[in-house]
Structure 1
Amino acid sequence: MKRDKTILLIGMQLLLLTGFIVIEATNQPQVFLRGALFIALAGITVMLLFMRLRFKVKLASMIEVLRRASSGNVNTRLLANDEPVVNEFIFTINELIDQLDKIRVQTIKSEAARKSLLSNISHDIRTPLTSIIGYVDALNDDIAASREEKLEYIGIISRKSTALKQLIDEIFDLAKLDADEVPLRPETLDLAEMARESIIEFLPVLKQANMKLIASIPEKKCLVTADRLSVQRILNNIVKNAVHHGQHGKLLAVELTEHTASYHLTIWDKGQGIPEEELAKVFERMYRTERSRSSMFGGSGLGLAISKALVEKNGGNIWAESQPGKKTTFTISLPK
């Protein structure tokens, strides 16, 4: 480690002063020695003064850099070429500037995501709400000519209201997940049994959509430690997503496999699939592929984001793979 020059020079000053004191105490008239000590002491004092002035200039430069960083210019950095203690201080400042730069970038991304989220939420709330108001006004104005037409209007209002309530519920769920206000109660669960239960719930929907079911789930227990409600919500969201977007392929497959430290639950379909450039975005909030933005194909765009958050809170992972038109796979990994 490089020595601290300031401490070294101050130490030499003390030695020289000690020499002066010894000479004076012994009353020895050593003129040459006194002169040498005086010159050395003066030289060290000048060096210390020079170092002090240079440090003052360096300090002013650091203050200026910090001011630029605080005003938003986080591309500036301090150069380290000084005493070890000062260099360490400079390294710390540079690290803080780096962190400030990362926070700034993250803030920009978060702000853009927030605006996009609010825009999408506003659109998705306004659309069914406008439809509901329109049909209610139609009923109030007796536009419906027959009882059957009135019942049809009421049915539309009911479906739109249910969809709107589901969207609002999912928005609140995401807000709670972000605020870490969703209490988890980990317990030992049989993932195989829960997967079977989830599939059974969707059998009427699969029959209505004329989709074939392929299930490969072990008969033995596949034990994981997780929150039961979270796992139920995750399975429901992923299966619902596969049914919703895989109807064209007329097939839904569920496979549960055992790995070294985890179980992988894979749910796949042969629907239209997800383009490669959009695959990394499917777990983003309110994200939907262009095709799924229509009322015929679109969901709230929050189900997969909620599933990802819940999987990660339970110590697992989730990812998607897709060959458009051939096979789209969502895999949930939970530790044993």
Structure 2
Amino acid sequence: MGDSRVRDNYLSKKISIFTGLICLLILLSVIYSLLILKEDIKKEDKSNLLRIETSNQRALIKEMFKEDNYYMESDFYDYGVINLKGEVIFSSISDFNKEEKINLENEIGYDNAFDNRKNGLIRYSTPLVNNGFQEGIIIIDLPQNVLNSGNKNEKFLPLWILLFLIGVLAFMINRFVKIDIIKPIKELHKSAKTILNGSYKCKVNYDYHGEVGEFCHDFEAMRGEIINSKEKEEKLKRNEKELLACISHDLKTPLSSISGYVEGIRDRIVKDEEGIKRYSNIILKKSKELSKLIDDILEQSKTELNEMSIERKEIYSDDYLMEVLGDLSIDVATHNMRLTVKGEIPRALIFIDTIRINQVINNIIANSIKYSRAGESIEIWLDDDIDKITVNIKDFGSGISIGDIPFVFNKFYRGEKYRNTNISGSGLGLSISKYIVESHGGNIKCSSALESGTTISFTIPKM
């Protein structure tokens, strides 16, 4: 039911019908007022119009006649006073002269002949009555426009203005409803339908304030959240497939080695104590690699779910780093390499999870050992800035190509280049390190070139 109303423009049609009815009523009101005006003009003849127009002048002329004192008001028309004998008593009309005798029959009433003789004026005569007796005739010349129906139009003018304003208001309401209500509703309906069909690209473009605008903004925010959730879901699915593929490959390699050496001992391929010891050491080494791989996978899973615990505490940078680097120098020496600390270690109060930052440094150093030759050195130096300390770790190993640098912090990165080599590792170390550094409010970056070594730098904010 609702869908069919949207498709059939139900609301839009209703608004158009109501607006049309308002306009029709306005038109009928105008036609009706014009008909009334026409009827009033028919009922009221020219004499009535002249009588109304000259009513004030006639009363004043009577007073002046009583006092025998004629004077001209500023708003008076030209007039004349004639007694019953036809003698002109007073006149401001150019056709009559005082004491002149005229023919009364020609001057009484509405003079159509005069209308034709002198264009633009109408001569109107009315009896001069005092105390119930007629004493003469008053003749007044008026402009011809007094017969116009302008005074009738004026009485309908407020009505017409009101109807015009109602029409304008109806038009504005119709436009407002269509643009600010119906249009965004249609956009919302269209966007919702596309979302139901599995597409999230249909945007609601209505971007104004008000109740409808806020609703559209909220709808867009909801659509954005749906898009983000969908992207995260698809990313998790891709990660899951990638994780399963990488785990199956990385677990298979050490397991195959362990299985092969165990079979060698079982089948007595090696019989002497030295051979069994060598096989056992290899099995132990591969088992540790397998354990490290499983630990890395678990850590990476925690980073994906934002569940890696970060328990920070206050500590001075020099105390912490001197202890960590001292322990690492011993581990590096066991691989026939040197760990060199260049410059001084700055003293500043930092707020870190020491175990997790240890993990970052260990991951970077472990990569440097793996991809460097025996006898080479690993250099560490620290940059002391106003708000942070930057730890720089450089090796002189095989390096990374420029095209691969943007991806070194992606999980399983090594799978792209080193998976089929004899170098062990999960490819998760730098990805986990990036998560830990950023969880502390710092950042991590890589600079490298093939056969020129690699430098990994990360920052620790000061307190």
Query: How would you bin the TM-score normalised by the shorter chain?
Result: 0.7 to 0.9
% identity of equivalent residues? 26
**What does residue range 230-249 of structure 1 map to in structure 2 within 5 Å?**
230-247=356-373
Whose helix proportion is higher, 1 or 2? 1
Which residue in 2 is equivalent to 1:122? 248
Q: Which has the higher contact order (CA 8 A, sep 6+)?
A: 1
The one-letter amino acid of 2:290's match is L
Say which one has the larger Rg.
2
Mapped pair 1:279 → 2:405: yes
Q: 1:78 to 1:138 in 2, by over 3 A?
A: same
Which residue in 2 is equivalent to 1:215? 341
Counterpart Cα distance in 2 of 1:254 and 1:83: 56
Which residue in 1 is equivalent to 2:384? 258
Deviations 1:12-62 (A, max 9, x none): x9xxxxxxxxxxxxxxxxx95778867876886687578767855763453
Which residue in 2 is equivalent to 1:206? 332
The one-letter amino acid of 2:438's match is E
Mapped pair 1:164 → 2:299: no
Which residue in 2 is equivalent to 1:148? 274
Counterpart Cα distance in 1 of 2:345 and 2:235: 46
Counterpart Cα distance in 2 of 1:206 and 1:48: 80
Identify which range, 319-328 or 140-149, moves more after superposition: 140-149
Counterpart Cα distance in 2 of 1:76 and 1:180: 31
1:267 Cα deviation from its structure 2 partner? 0.6
Counterpart Cα distance in 1 of 2:295 and 2:185: 55
Identify which range, 283-292 or 271-280, moves more after superposition: 283-292
1:246 Cα deviation from its structure 2 partner? 2.5
1:193 Cα deviation from its structure 2 partner? 3.5
Counterpart Cα distance in 2 of 1:183 and 1:81: 42
Deviations 1:70-122 (A, max 9, x none): 32222223343999654554454345434544444444344323322221112
Which residue in 1 is equivalent to 2:49? none
Mapped pair 1:330 → 2:456: yes
Mapped pair 1:314 → 2:314: no
**Which among 162, 175, 185 is matched to residue 311 of structure 2?**
185
Counterpart Cα distance in 1 of 2:348 and 2:325: 16
TM-score norm. by structure 1 comes to 0.77
1:146 Cα deviation from its structure 2 partner? 3.0
Aligned-residue Cα RMSD (Å) equals: 3.6
Q: 1:45 to 1:263 in 2, by over 3 A?
A: closer
Instruction: Please give the secondary structure, in 1, of the residue aligned with 2:321.
Output: helix
Which residue in 1 is equivalent to 2:141? none
Instruction: Please give the secondary structure, in 2, of the residue aligned with 1:292.
Output: coil
TM-score norm. by structure 2 comes to 0.58
Instruction: Please give the secondary structure, in 2, of the residue aligned with 1:288.
Output: helix
Which residue in 1 is equivalent to 2:425? 299
8 A Cα contact 1:237 1:304, kept in partner: yes
The alignment covers a number of residue pairs equal to 311
Counterpart Cα distance in 2 of 1:83 and 1:280: 42
Which residue in 1 is equivalent to 2:199? 73
The one-letter amino acid of 1:229's match is I
